[in-house]
Amino acid sequence: MSRRRIWSGGAATGAVVLMLVALVPSAAQEEEVRLEQALDRPVNLEIPDAALPDVLEQLGAMTGVKFKADDEVIDRLPYGRQTRMSVKLRDVTLRDALSPMLSPQALRWQAEDGVVHITVAPALGRMSRRATYDELQLLGTLYSERLARAEDGTSVLDQLRQKSGNPDLKLNVQIPVDEAELIAKADESLPATGARWLNAMCRNEPWTWYVTGDRIVVLPRAGQVRRQLTRQVSLRYEEADLLEVLLDLADKAGVHLAIAPDALNYVPAETRDSFTLMMSDASVAQALEVIGGVTGLAFDATDDGLSVSASEELKARMQDRPVRRDSAQPFFVRMSMPGPDDVSFDVLMRADDLPPEVYEYIDRRRDEAIEKLIQESGR
């Protein structure tokens, strides 16, 4: 009887504990709640002129909000961390103030995991280099200034020239469509910001837009991907997984990566699992060219991003290579080569570096040598 009471009481206690655990919020949930509350509090702050990190630090100190600027923000702004901005907030919630404060710099914000992340707007992210001061000003106009319908004969381009202070601003259409029809399609989105007007021009179409100098360029998406692959980078991959290398390069260029099924399986395992590449001040496209030369992979810019596949040459080489009955790992061959001044060089080669007839010859001779050793060992 006593035993039944103890068991019953234990079960009840366990149920209570489970209910309490369910009711206690996690630390992450508490951070989220605190952030939401801070975003809804009125803010009064005036900073006449300061570097972006200083602005975020002062804003964080006043509101208790944690701000984090993504690395791409620093890489794309004209003067990096020293890019300056002014802030004037009067009795406005932080939630309502952040977008108007950041859009003139072509920046955005997103609350996640108790932190406000500062990120680049899409058009700033599409630049394959650091924006100039004038380009950032134009992007800021496109993202922050609203444009009206051209009822009085003032075109959107004229409005943008006036609002940006750039009378030489041009729209450069590099796609095979009628420009007047393209503009008419975009005008249906008005009133809107210049960025929304341009996005409407490209919506559901295989083209996009970017800013360079005093031009707004509309071009095929594949052409934009090629532009982003020209981004200059310094690389150091040592015995790295090839897939991770490709993902990192795509991330550096800001493009989507699509790898064809089984493409990496054509690459020898020792190359695929332990890839080394070091380059300084090279473009992502140059790095891909080197990788393609080493592995036989083919890289193509498409409307959707960067496509990776096995080249026809690589497929043919793999299909023609004889496969040993027990081979998962290709063997290595050491070749001694004469050099100048009576110096000789030992060169190590993988089996898949050899022509098929040489591979077969070495494979056959190796089997003969092994058979001879077996016979001699049995004497």
CATH 3.55.50.30 fits 29-120, yes or no: yes
- pLDDT over 90 for what percent of the chain? 67
Residue 45 backbone phi and psi in degrees, to 5:
-155, 135
Q: Higher-confidence residue: 329 or 379?
A: 379
Residue 331: pLDDT above 80? no
Per-residue model confidence (pLDDT) at position 257: 96
Q: What is the mean pLDDT of residues 225-246?
A: 95
- pLDDT over 70 for what percent of the chain? 83
Residue 291: pLDDT above 50? yes
Per-residue model confidence (pLDDT) at position 324: 46
74-80 long-range Cβ contacts below 8 angstroms, 24+ apart: 75/130, 76/120, 76/124, 76/125, 76/127, 76/130, 76/131, 77/52, 77/105, 77/130, 77/131, 77/136, 78/130, 78/131, 78/132, 78/133, 78/135, 78/136, 79/133, 80/130
Rounded distance between C-alpha atoms, residue 120 and residue 126, angstroms: 9
Q: Higher-confidence residue: 373 or 220?
A: 220
Residue 336 backbone phi and psi in degrees, to 5:
-95, 125
Q: State the pLDDT confidence band at 216, using cuts at 50, 70 and 90.
A: very high
Residue 250: pLDDT above 80? yes
Per-residue model confidence (pLDDT) at position 107: 97
Residue 22 backbone phi and psi in degrees, to 5:
-65, -30
Which pLDDT tens digit goes with each residue over 43-65?
A: 999 999 999 999 999 999 999 99
Residue with tokens 């939630």: 95
CATH 3.40.47.10 fits 229-318, yes or no: no
- 105's enclosing H/E stretch is none
Residues 6+ apart with CB under 8 A from 194: 141, 142, 143, 145, 147, 156, 160
Which pLDDT tens digit goes with each residue over 111-128?
A: 998 999 999 999 999 988
Q: State the pLDDT confidence band at 355, using cuts at 50, 70 and 90.
A: confident
Per-residue model confidence (pLDDT) at position 284: 96
Answer yes or no: pTM beyond 0.85.
no
Among 30-39, 284-293, 324-333, the range scoring the smallest mean pLDDT is 324-333
Peptide bond preceding 42 in cis form (omega within 30 of 0): no
What does the mean pLDDT of the chain come to? 85
Per-residue model confidence (pLDDT) at position 98: 96
